Structure 1
């Protein structure tokens, strides 16, 4: 067990993982707004960056932070892309449909098609750079398994990497986040406008 400077202690009768009472500085808030892709993506983004920062500052635990950090990065990418696709669908079709699969490359391609369909440039230099990054992540972790399990369902080793430069990982992730989060904000604004227009039309219909 990789817990330093801790005295051994063991479960006792009545212990639970989840209780809702405690001191204010002990309580984290989970409410229904966190049932949306964007809020989940924000949480995984924050967790990944915090883990990388811990890894960069802790040589003893550095290697142990890497697996969950990269898993969170990949999961952020998947959730953010689903959020973007869902947002565009709401703006164009007034539904909240999103792809149910986990294939990152397909999600990226589906997003670009949807983004272009609303008149946006899906081939600018930022997206061209992200093309290669998505291809890279899809190669090393095609099914979100490589940083969760040592082997796949057939027993094949999932890990193709040996070393990762953490500073580069963090910087590249931040650059991608600026693009994805910026697009998410733009789509969110348009979704709000769409929702307001739909509400006005509905209200006028019944007047």
Structure 2
């Protein structure tokens, strides 16, 4: 018995697929692209501006960090340079001050000894009492007094070589011109009594007078 006729049996499946593919391929290539609306464009612009602002803030943060690092490096360099400078200066300063302190202490000790010697010499000079001298002990007391004066003068001259402050004329304030102040200074004998001047003259001339007297006696004996 003959089978029922079916028209689909004579349809080529490949030809159908080709037709379908040809139909899809025949659509315009940009038909699927959708035009953005105004609101969407504004949203994208705002998003781009926001991202640019974030990038600018990040750049500013990096600039601040770079400036902070440069400042830190500068301060570290300043620390190293200053530390080396002050170590050298303070070490040298300590050595110089220790040497100066040692010299000043030695000079102060020497000045103290000189001051004590001045006080002793002053007491000895003040102890001279010419009114108590008698003709019998005149030569002895005069010799003793002149020895005290000479020792005091030697101490004074020695101290003047050690301490320049002693070369300042009497009555001159520190910092004044000693040359100008020395003009019109009173002579050394001013204020000395006539009796003391006579005693000083006798003390200076009696050795010569004694020698002359001995020579005269010797000449008379040999004659």
Same fold (TM over 0.5): no
TM-score (norm 1): 0.23
TM-score (norm 2): 0.22
Q: Which structure shows the bigger proportion of residues in helix conformation? A: 2
Structure showing greater Rg: 2
Q: Greater relative contact order (Cα 8 A, min sep 6): structure 1 or 2?
A: 1
